[in-house]
Amino acid sequence: MTLANKITLARIALIPFFIVFACMGGTAWDAIALVLFCLCSVTDFLDGYVARKYHQVTDFGKFVDPLADKLLICAAMCVFVDRGYMAGWMVFIILAREFIITSLRTIAMGKNRVLAATWTGKVKTCTQIAGIIIIFLCLLFTGADLSISKTADVLVQLCGWVMMLMTLYSGYDYLHRNWDLVAEGATKPKIK
């Protein structure tokens, strides 16, 4: 197993610990959850760097790295919904986009076509990571009581909206660029 893949698997292994601390609430636990989230986010950039620099790009890595990203981001957002800091419908839209694009990638793979990451996909991921970090910082600043700071409350709500809108735009961009896959699949029956 390559070093890049080991880094990715370590990120996945940290996610349950992140969830436990993030669900516990309270300043100390939120601080630990934030540190774990930041560590996982750094390993996301690190495994890609290592894979490219040392020619360790593998099919396993191409599958597991995006999965690890989605698991981490979705875990954080689900915790925020559970704790009342993010609307469930926003997270549903974000998750729907991830399922749709993953399905599109599966269709493309079946046609020996690779859907390369677009700049909107990269901006979406960075926006989500930054938004989650900002929400945790707001929770730490207010002791998880956003009612004591109107600014923190507005910032948390703004982060949710920005993450959702960027995710929607990124999903639209992927679908628009690859609509031929969807259209072909909808009109051409598969002959056995």
Q: Give the pLDDT score at 190.
A: 64
Q: Are 56 and 2 in contact (CB under 8 A)?
A: yes
d(CA 76, CA 95): 12
The interaxial angle of helices 3-24 and 59-83, nearest 10 deg, is 10
Task: Domain ranges for the chain, please list them.
Answer: 3-179
- Residue 18's pLDDT is 97
Please state the pTM of the whole predicted model. Answer: 0.90
Rounded CA Rg of the chain: 18
Question: Going residue by residue through the chain (192 aa), what tens digit of pLDDT does each one get?
Answer: 899 999 999 999 999 999 999 999 889 999 999 999 999 999 988 998 898 899 888 888 878 888 899 999 999 999 999 999 999 999 999 999 999 988 888 888 888 887 777 899 889 999 999 999 999 999 999 988 888 899 999 999 999 999 999 999 999 999 999 998 888 766 766 666
Q: What is the pLDDT, as a whole number, of residue 158?
A: 97
Alpha-carbon distance of 113 to 30, in angstroms, equals 42
pLDDT of residue 185: 66
Query: What CATH number does the domain located at 3-179 have?
Result: 1.20.120.1760
- Residue 191 confidence (pLDDT): 63
Look at the block and give the residue holding tokens 């677009």.
Answer: 118
User: What's residue 114's pLDDT?
Assistant: 77
What is the spatial distance between Cα 54 and Cα 72, in angstroms, rounded to a whole number? 25
C-beta separation of 83 from 25 below 8 A: yes
Among 178, 158, 167, residue whose Cα is nearest residue 69: 167
Q: Could you tell me which residues come within 8 angstroms of residue 138 by beta carbon, excluding any fewer than 6 positions away?
A: 146, 149, 152, 153, 155, 156
Which residues are CB-neighbours of 102 under 8 A, at least 6 positions away?
A: 70
The shares of helix, strand and coil residues in the chain, as percent rounded to the nearest 5, are 85, 0, 15
